[in-house]
Amino acid sequence: DYRYWLSLYIPIYIVIVGFLLTLTGFGQSAFGAQRWFQVGVLFLQPTEFAKIIAIIILARYFEAVQYQPRDLKWVIGAVLWASGIILLILLQPNLSNVMVLSVILAVMLFINGIEMRFILIAGTVGAVLFGTVVILSVLGVRIPFLQEYQQQRIVTFVVPDPNDTYGNRYNVQQALIAIGAGGVLGEGYNQGTQTQLRFLKVRHTDFIFAASSEEFGTVGGGLIIVTIAFIVWRCIRAGQKARDLSGAMIAIGIATLIFFQGLVNIGMNLNLLPVSGLPLPFISYGGSGLTALMLGIGLVESVVMRQKELDF
């Protein structure tokens, strides 16, 4: 029941912040980032659960202040609640999930009636910051809050080197080859040459869409997109019919999470966006991500269930 979790917003906020703080000192490192706890043979990624908790926290906040004026104090309150989680995720570093949470926050602010002047200010600051990061990365200037590989991904996307066949462009090139090789109907399950001969790296996580498109073709890739779009639409419908603002915010927050992660993952597989570590919702390998999404869908289901009074 989402109302139950809303009532526990302070304890779960403290718990997830504690996990993220502990992660910065004792987490397992991989690819230059400290994002996992090892529990026996299992790896737990608290950030995936932090995104769901952030949605709950923001839903609780917007319900509490729904009758207050949409002034600067109202905006700062939402930003402060989210920033506790966002800053700790940035320290890992995990810029892609920082972007996810920032987009969720922006969507919730917009739906709750943020004034246009704040949108223009935030948009201008964001555009200037993004442009500065791109220019400095292309010029080879180190940016303190970005890892070298993150800047290199930006450079590779903005100014691709056609001769960099086996370097930073390798994964994207192999993904495009895999998608093209699949054709309309694909090469068949476990028959994709790029995937099975391991030319396509991280095919089970970041590039699962390319692997699926190679083996199941445009039909399979299209089915993935349609399925994700359908889930997002159903979450939005749940938000529209929610009996209270907090329920609506939870449903819209989960919809935004699924939509944005799907958009970025598929976009990078098609070389339309820079490579990031965001998984494809419900498809990419990873127990933490899938479990967190299932919890999110469960919250949306409870929003639907609570549209009417229940006897229990």
| Domain boundaries of the chain, sorted by first residue | 2-114+160-305
Higher pLDDT, 168 or 137: 137
Can you tell me the mean pLDDT for 151-158? 80
Tell me the pLDDT band of 170, cut-offs 50, 70 and 90.
Answer: confident
Predicted local confidence at residue 266, as pLDDT: 92
29's enclosing H/E stretch is strand 28-30
Can you tell me the mean pLDDT for 75-80? 92
CA atoms lying within 13 Å on the CB side of residue 138 = 11
Which residues are bridge partners to 38 per DSSP?
43
**Cα 92 from Cα 220, distance rounded (Å):** 35
**Predicted TM-score of the model (pTM):** 0.89
129, two tokens: 């910051």
What end-to-end distance do the CA atoms of the chain give, in Å?
Answer: 11
312, two tokens: 């229990």
Predicted local confidence at residue 310, as pLDDT: 56
Higher pLDDT, 148 or 295: 295
**CA neighbor of 285 nearest in space, from 204, 195, 219:** 204
pLDDT at 32 over 70: no
pLDDT tens by residue, 230-244 = 999 999 999 999 999
**CA neighbor of 295 nearest in space, from 96, 94, 84, 50:** 50
Q: Coil, helix or strand for 107?
A: helix
Helix axes 46-64, 245-269, angle to 10 degrees: 140
Predicted local confidence at residue 136, as pLDDT: 86
Can you tell me the mean pLDDT for 175-184? 85
Can you tell me the mean pLDDT for 120-149? 84
Can you tell me the mean pLDDT for 11-29? 81
Burial of 184 (0-12, 13-18, 19+ CB in 10 A): exposed
Predicted local confidence at residue 174, as pLDDT: 84
